[in-house]
Amino acid sequence: MKTQALAKFRDKLARNESVHGLWVTLESATVTEMAVALGLDWVVIDAEHGHLDWKEINEHIRAGLRSDTVVLVRLAERSTSLTKRALDIGADGVVIPWVETAEQIEEILRDCLYPPEGRRGIGGERATVWGQCFAEHTTEANDHVLVVPLIESVSAIPHISEMCKIDGIDAFFFGPADFSSTAGFRGQWEGPGVANQILELKETIIASGKHCGLITTSNENLVNRHEQGFRMLGLGADTGLLLRSLHQSLQTMNSDRMPATSLDPADGKAVRRPLPQPPDHMQPDREEVITKLEDGPTVEIQSGVSFTALAGEFNTCRNLTTGIATLQPGAVLDCHNHPCSEAITVLEGEVEFTVEGRVYHLKPLDNIVIPRWLPHATRNPNPEKIARLHNAFGMSSPTRELVTQDFTPVQMPDDSNGVPGYERVTRFKTAKRTFGVGPGAEFIDFFNDELIPGIEMSGGFGRFQPGGRLPAHLHDFDESICIIDGAASCLVERRRYSLEDCTTAMIPRGRVHYFVNESETTMDMIWVYAGPMPERIVIEETYAASSCKPGSQNHE
C-alpha cells in the first residue's frame, strides 16, 4: 500500500482539486506504466468487465509500485474473498460495483479492514512485503485503504443520504450507462432525466463533505464535469481513448466509420461516420409531404371496409403506398391478391387474417406480411368494435384482384410466425428488439429482404422514449413514417413538423431528416421504406437542424 500516494490523493481532494485517472481494461501492464509516467493520480484496473485475469491484474499493480499513482481494482462484485485478494497483492484500494444501500457500504468496509474493525485476513503477500512487515502494514492499512462505491442503479437514490453518513468513504463514483439502464434507457450513456438525477445526487454527496467521480467522454466533457463539481475524473478507458484517437485520424482522411457489433468491417450493419452533406448523386427532386389522417384520400374498398392513403402516388411517393384501413364491426374483406407485397400492422382491435386458408388471429401491433400474388382475406371478428390497420404496399398505386378459389380453413396457433417462403407473422410481445440505432429508441424489423427474400420494401415498428431520437440521415429510396401513438418532431433540412394521431411524413429519396420525441411520454411509429433493406446514410446534424423553421405543412 502506497500511503504517500494515498495521502497526496486525499490532499488534492481536500483542496478541491481534481484527481485525474485512467480506467484500465487491456492486459498489457505498459498501459499502467504510461499512466504512472504521465503522473496520473489514479488508475482503476477493471476486474468486473472484460478478460483480465489475476496474473494480469498483478502485473498492473506491480507497474504502479513506487509511484504517486494510486492503483485501485474494480472487483466483479462485493466479495470478502475478492477484496482480500486485491488488497493482499498490493492494490491501494477497491472499487465496488452496484452499491445501493448504507448496509452494503458497511459490509464493504468490513471486508477492507483488519480486525477488530473488519474481517480482512492477514496474508503473506506483497501488501505485507511477503510477511516481512506484518506489524507495519496492519498498523497503517485501516487508516489508508481507499474504498470507492460505484453508484449505478436508481435503487440507490433514496439511500444516498444515509450512505454519505458512513465514515471511511472518500468518494463515490457514478456509472451513467448502468444507471440509465436501470432507469429504463438501456444502451444510453445518460438517458432522459438521468443526467439531472446524477447532478442532484452529486450535490447531496458534496454537501456531506465527500467527493464524486465518473468517466468523462471527451476533452470538452472533462472540462464540463470539472465545472459541475466532479473531482475524481476519469480521462477515459484505455480502449476508449485509443478508439477516440483512431477516429480522429480517420476523420482527417475522410475514412472514418462506426464498427458493427460483429466486429466484421464488411458487416452491412457497420455505420460510417456522418458525412458533412449528402453525396452529389443523391440530390432530391421532390419536397417532403406531411399528411394528416383526415386529409388523406379515402376509398371504400368493400362494404364496411375503407382505406385512407397517407403516402402514395397522390403525394408523389414512389414505389410505395401506405395508409390506414378501417374495418367496421364484423366487416369482411373478401379473398384477393396484389401484384406487390403487402404488410399489415394491427393498430386497434383484433383481426383475423386468412392466407390460402391458414387463419391467423392478430392483436394490436402484431404484423403480417403477404408476398405478391398470395391470396388472403381479412375479417374483424368483433361485432361491436372497429378494427384499424396500418397497410403498406410495395408500389405507388396498388391494385387488387379478387380470388374465387376455395381454401380449406386451418386455424394457426396463436404463437405461429407464418409459413417459411409464404406469409410472415411478427408477434409484438415476443418480437426481437433492436437497440443502438439512436439513443432512447428501440426497433422491431417486421420485413426486409433478409427476413423475406425477394420483398421489394422494408419496414417495422419504432418506440422512442422521452428524448429518444435518430441521427440525421437520408435514404436512397422514399420513406413513409406514421406516428401511431404519442407525438414526434420531424426535422427535414431545417424545416420542423409536429406529427401525431397517424399523421404521416413522406420523405423522398435524398432528403436529410430525423425524428425526435420531445414530449414527456413514449412515441410509437410505423416506418416503411421503398427499398428492400433499411439502409441509411448518416449526415451531420447541422445540415438538417440548423436554424430550423416550421415547415410549410407544419401541423403543430
Helix axes of 134-144 and 3-14: crossing angle, nearest 10 degrees? 20
| Predicted local confidence at residue 188, as pLDDT | 79
Q: Tell me the mean pLDDT in the region 79-100.
A: 97
CB atoms within 10 A of CB 277: 11
pLDDT band (50, 70, 90) for residue 184: confident
Q: What average pLDDT is seen over the chain? A: 92
Where a domain ends, among 196, 229, 248?
A: 248
Residue 425 sits in the same domain as residue 444: no
In a domain, 348, yes or no: yes
Structural Rg of the chain based on CA atoms: 30
Taking the C-alpha atoms of residue 124 and residue 88, their distance in angstroms, rounded to an integer, is 8
pLDDT of the residue at 104 = 98
Rounded mean pLDDT of 527-545?
86
Tell me the percentage of the chain whose pLDDT exceeds 90. 81
CB 336 within 8 A of CB 375: yes
Q: What is the CATH number of the domain that holds 528?
A: 2.60.120.10
Domain shared by 238 and 347, yes or no: no
**Per-residue pLDDT, 355:** 97
User: Does residue 394 fall inside a structural domain?
Assistant: yes
Position 553 scores a pLDDT of 44
**Are 390 and 414 contained in the same domain?**
yes
Q: Distance between CA 56 and CA 69 in Å, rounded?
A: 18
Convert the pLDDT of each residue in 192-214 to its tens digit.
Answer: 788 999 999 999 999 999 999 99
**CA gap 64, 5 in Å, rounded:** 10
Joined together, the cell numbers standing for residue 420 give 417459411
pLDDT of 262 strictly over 50: yes
Separation of alpha carbons 207 and 220, rounded Å: 26
Confidence grade of residue 537 (pLDDT, cut at 50, 70, 90): confident
> Which pLDDT score, from 0 to 100, does residue 186 have?
82
Rounded Cα distance, 340 and 398, in Å: 7
Query: Quick check: is 158 in a domain?
Result: yes
Tens digits of residue pLDDT in 465-521 = 998 888 899 999 999 999 999 999 999 998 999 999 999 999 999 999 999 999 999
DSSP letters along 257-295, please? EEPPTT--TT-TT-EEPPBSS--GGG---S--EEE-GGG
Number of domains present in the structure of the chain: 3
Least confident window among 25-29, 164-168, 295-299, 464-468: 464-468
Co-location of 425 and 438 in the same domain: no
Q: Which range has the top average pLDDT, 143-152, 246-255, 488-497? A: 143-152
For residues 523 and 492, membership in a common domain is answered with: yes
Distance CA 56, CA 288 (A): 57
- Domain extent, residue 352, equals 290-429
Same domain for 186 and 317, yes or no, is no
Instruction: Provide the angle, in degrees to the nearest 10, between the axes of the packed helices 30-37 and 54-63.
Output: 20
Residue 27's CATH number: 3.20.20.60
Q: Do 457 and 492 fall within a single domain?
A: yes
Same domain? 167 vs 312? no
Name, in order, each residue with C-beta under 8 angstroms of 410's C-beta and a sequence gap of 6 or more. 357, 358, 359
pLDDT given at position 187: 79
Last residue of a domain, one of 197, 215, 248: 248
Flag whether pLDDT at 181 surpasses 80: yes
pLDDT tens digits, 419-442: 998 999 999 999 999 877 778 899
65 and 204 share one domain: yes
Looking at residue 547, its pLDDT comes to: 42
Domain end call among 387, 409, 429: 429
Residue 357 pLDDT: 95
Q: What per-residue confidence (pLDDT) applies to 485?
A: 97
Of the candidates 263, 256, 282, 252, the residue with the CA atom closest to the CA atom of residue 531: 282
> In this structure, are 299 and 425 located in the same domain?
yes
pTM over 0.75: no
Task: Give domain status of residue 63, yes or no.
Answer: yes
Number of CB atoms found within 10 A of residue 396's CB: 18
At residue 139 the predicted structure's pLDDT band, cuts being 50, 70 and 90, is very high
On whether both 512 and 419 belong to a single domain, the answer is: no
Residues 498 and 158: their CA atoms lie apart, in Å, by 37
- The per-residue pLDDT for 247 is 81
**Amino acid 263: pLDDT:** 79
Determine the Cα–Cα distance for residues 34 and 28; give it in Å rounded to an integer.
Answer: 11
pLDDT tens column, 282-300:
889 999 999 999 999 999 9
- How far apart (Å, rounded) are the C-alpha atoms in residues 487 and 480? 16
pLDDT value of residue 552: 46
Q: Are residues 391 and 462 part of one domain? A: no
Residues 6+ apart with CB under 8 A from 133: none
